[in-house]
Chains A and B, each alone.
Chain A
Amino acid sequence: MMALTARIVVALTLAAAGVSATGCATVQPWQRGLLADSCMIFDANDTTAYMTHWQESREGSMGGFGVQGGGCGCK
């Protein structure tokens, strides 16, 4: 009985992993209009930039708020 339950759990886990794996999508260069919007940038204004810098320094989490750019894919 336990073996059957374990198999079901394993099967469900694999199924969930499979479903979540398909959740990844490649955003093409021409589809990055929304990602390039200024509201998508973490430090879009000075206050946010200061707060982010302060928090990164305090927590030692440099880079935790993303890297430069809004993801527009521009070169």
Chain B
Amino acid sequence: MIGRHLFTVVLAGVLAAPVLGAVPKNAPDITLTALSGNPIRVADLKGQVVLLDFWASWCIPCRRSFPAIDALHRELQPKGLTVIAVNVDEQQKNAYTFLEKYPHTMTIAFDPKGAIAQAFDLQAMPSSMIVDRRGRIRFTHEGYTDKTISQFRSEVLQLLAESE
């Protein structure tokens, strides 16, 4: 009888684990280097909704995601969205060539050694994370399709509506 109850408890625990594991993780406390050379500490951005987009000049889908995310930045920056586009090119000159081709207003940061990408446990290129006002990673996107940007918009608006 006890064994049966124990089995039920263990089974419930196993089934609930994925749900319990879905508790949002805090964004790693890292410092990025912006295009301007200024440091950006992610922990200092608490209170803002932050979209971190990892891109590279060699990443084909990034040619579509980069301008779309920049347009989203222009649209939602006045409402409190901060976008940081983190470049992971090992050769920074390739990133500069890309940036000349794709005009932007969002903040650009560089991660040539992949340390930031590693801290965020990147699984694919491009990848994007949306961090809430409390500094927790609430949404993660891997890859990019034309539907992704509308998902970004609704998720960002949801987080902007939340209080700190």
A28 and B58 contact, Cβ closer than 8 Å, known pairs A74-B143, A75-B124:
no
By a CB distance below 8 angstroms, the chain A residues around B44 are none
Contact mask for chain A residues 7-29; partner B; CB cutoff 8 A; 1 contact, 0 none: 00000000000000000000011
A37 to B94, CA, bound (A): 12
By a CB distance below 8 angstroms, the chain A residues around B94 are 33
Residues of B within 8 A of A (CB): 54, 56-61, 88-91, 94, 111, 114, 117-118, 122-127, 142-144
Q: In terms of DSSP, what is the predominant structure of the interface of chain B?
A: loop
How many pairs, one residue from A and one from B, have CB atoms within 8 Å of each other in the complex? 52
By a CB distance below 8 angstroms, the chain B residues around A72 are 58-60, 125
A31 to B118, CA, bound (A): 11
Query: Contact between B58 and A73 (Cβ–Cβ < 8 Å)?
Result: no
Residue of B59, B60, B114 touching A28 (CB-CB under 8 A): B114
